[in-house]
Amino acid sequence: MPDQQTPMQRMMGDFAPTFVDLTDRVLFGEVWARTDALSPRDRSLVTITSLVTAGNVDQLRAHIPMGLANGLSGDEVIEAITHVAFYAGWPRAVSALTLAQQIIDTEETPA
């Protein structure tokens, strides 16, 4: 039987049920589901660059693969991080690119 839990449910379990509910229902159920102005691909690009800018590398572990699944290419992820390096800071970009390299290499390596 496939796992029916959301990524946030798997991460937080019953530790913070209200936070899990808001993440699943509002953030991903409503905000991410809106496609009238931004596609999931565009939302992923905005999210990845926002996370880099804020220095939230841990969250990139989920959002880079999601971006690739939403249609971003590895080259687009790399270019977006390179572009925001001048605004977000070089060390944040280096951290993000190091993680992106691991993820993109894994995603592009045949099983």
- Each residue's pLDDT tens digit in the chain (111 positions)? 456 898 899 989 899 999 999 999 999 999 999 989 999 999 999 999 999 999 999 999 999 999 999 999 999 999 999 999 999 999 999 999 999 999 999 986 655
54, with CB counted inside 10 A (0-12, 13-18, 19+), is exposed
Calpha distance 57→61 (Å, rounded): 7
Check whether domain 38-108 has CATH 1.20.1290.10, yes or no = yes
pTM as predicted: 0.87
Q: Report domain extents, the chain.
A: 1-33, 38-108
